[in-house]
Amino acid sequence: MEQIYDIAIVGAGASGMMCALLCTRAGRRVIVLEKEPQVGRKILVSGNGRCNLTNAFVSAGDYRGTPDIAAAVLEEFPFQKCLQLFHGLGVLTIEENDGRIFPQSGKSTAVCEALRLACQEAGATFRVNSETVKIQAKKQFILTQKDGEKISANRCVLACGSCAYPQVGGTQAGYELAKSLGHHIIEPTQALCALNVREKAVARLQGIRAQVRMIALPDTPAEVQSVGEILFTNYGLSGPAALSVSGAIGKVLAQGPVAVQVDLLPDVDDKMIFLQNRIRLFGSRTPKAFFAGMLHENIANLLIDFAGLRKNELVQNWTENTLQTVAKILGGWPFTVTSLRPWMEAMVAAGGVNCAEINYNTMESSCCPGLYILGELLNVDGRSGGFNLHFAWASAYVAAQALTEE
């Protein structure tokens, strides 16, 4: 007789494996279907191979898209619960700056293997190289695999992730499956992704890192800021500070290029007073010497060109106008973002299944009873710092509570 599973989970990534573990431990017969030859490929590449699995300061404010659903799942699965769970799986952790939590081994395999082994020990069935291409919601859910096999289950969980980073499994498949079951998709755009800029001169700064404040969409109601490291590249801006504002930029790029500014001295409130004080000390220098010790040499050279400063003029002879120009550039060097880097370089997707169609207390679909949707497939994206994986675990936890309570 054909076997009917209690729960079929599509996707053996972060949320799928967490959900499988908790449901199997509660005695449910669970099958996890993974199209890749290996489970958890995105976990493995996360955090530069170190896996920033959660954050000690996680809160709803760290999420965009639908922060309300993040708030609801965080209430059920706050940071402490997450840490306890992973410690219970045998993963030793360390906390780094800004509350970022990593496995102590420094390897993402610690997290992926802990989940995979615990699922195996609890008795979950895994199928790799098994892509679900169709789901029918009848008396049971019938999941058709690419090779034609049909798998039946009483409940179905979509944990397919987003289309970001296709080289490790990112795919549109989850959106298509959700649509076929009645859901609406908020068009995904790249997030945590580097920025292509129009100004070709940026290539002169390639490889240089600086601590800055990034201001995207300055002086508009949509303005977003991020303080941290920027990496100048031959095409534009990368590094955590640029990545953090990319989701907001992606949302409006369809309407045309987007202005951003780079504050090169984020700890200095009043750039004019700062410059005047510095001129008192070093005013007898030429601009290049004046900027030494303050800016990277290449940044200083580009700034000199950009501001039209005379290379041999002593800084103490600058006019008020010149001083203001320099202060303005230091506080907000303008760049124009023309596009985001391709999906191959985007760590997450902003957009996804419309959360208005999800019960926040259970993660169950309101379009298709018995269907649950988790993780990055939903219209929720977190900042850089462990927040996206935390949402994946937390949404899985909430769904598992609901799936195992009867």
Ligand X SMILES: Cc1cc2nc3c(=O)[nH]c(=O)nc-3n(C[C@H](O)[C@H](O)[C@H](O)COP(=O)(O)OP(=O)(O)OC[C@H]3O[C@@H](n4cnc5c(N)ncnc54)[C@H](O)[C@@H]3O)c2cc1C
Residues that bind ligand X (CB under 6 A): 10-16, 33-36, 41-43, 45-47, 51-52, 131-132, 159-161, 164-165, 169, 171, 173-174, 347-348, 375-377, 386-389, 392
End-to-end CA distance of the chain: 25
DSSP 341: P
Provide the minimum distance between the beta carbon of 174 and ligand X in the complex, in angstroms, as a whole number: 5
The whole-angstrom separation of Cα 164 and Cα 247 is 12
Provide the minimum distance between the beta carbon of 151 and ligand X in the complex, in angstroms, as a whole number: 11
Provide the minimum distance between the beta carbon of 231 and ligand X in the complex, in angstroms, as a whole number: 15
- In the complex with ligand X, the residue whose CB is nearer, 77 or 291, is 77
- In the complex with ligand X, the residue whose CB is nearer, 91 or 392, is 392
For CA atoms 266, 325, 340, 194, the dihedral sign is negative
- In the complex with ligand X, the residue whose CB is nearer, 10 or 205, is 10
- In the complex with ligand X, the residue whose CB is nearer, 72 or 262, is 72
Q: What's the CA angle centered on 244, arms 240 and 249, to 5 degrees?
A: 135
Q: Which of 188, 182, 184 lies closest to 368 in space, CA to CA?
A: 182
DSSP 6: E
- In the complex with ligand X, the residue whose CB is nearer, 93 or 301, is 93
* Strand-pair partners of 238: 231
Provide the minimum distance between the beta carbon of 300 and ligand X in the complex, in angstroms, as a whole number: 33
- Cβ atoms 285, 354 nearer than 8 A: no
The whole-angstrom separation of Cα 43 and Cα 112 is 6
- Cβ atoms 365, 358 nearer than 8 A: yes
Structure tokens at 270: 């009043």
Provide the minimum distance between the beta carbon of 281 and ligand X in the complex, in angstroms, as a whole number: 42
Q: Which of 340, 392, 383, 357 lies closest to 64 in space, CA to CA?
A: 383
Q: How many residues does the chain have?
A: 406
Q: How many CB atoms lie within 10 A of CB 195?
A: 30
- In the complex with ligand X, the residue whose CB is nearer, 159 or 275, is 159
The whole-angstrom separation of Cα 76 and Cα 397 is 8
Provide the minimum distance between the beta carbon of 386 and ligand X in the complex, in angstroms, as a whole number: 4
- In the complex with ligand X, the residue whose CB is nearer, 15 or 238, is 15
Provide the minimum distance between the beta carbon of 148 and ligand X in the complex, in angstroms, as a whole number: 14
- In the complex with ligand X, the residue whose CB is nearer, 140 or 171, is 171
Q: Which of 57, 74, 88, 21 lies closest to 394 in space, CA to CA?
A: 74
- In the complex with ligand X, the residue whose CB is nearer, 265 or 394, is 394
Q: What is the CA radius of gyration of the chain?
A: 25
Provide the minimum distance between the beta carbon of 104 and ligand X in the complex, in angstroms, as a whole number: 15
Provide the minimum distance between the beta carbon of 359 and ligand X in the complex, in angstroms, as a whole number: 18
The whole-angstrom separation of Cα 155 and Cα 396 is 14
CA distances to 40, 43, 101, 273, 284 from 113, in Å: 9, 10, 17, 55, 62
Q: Which residue is nearest to ligand X (CB)?
A: 13
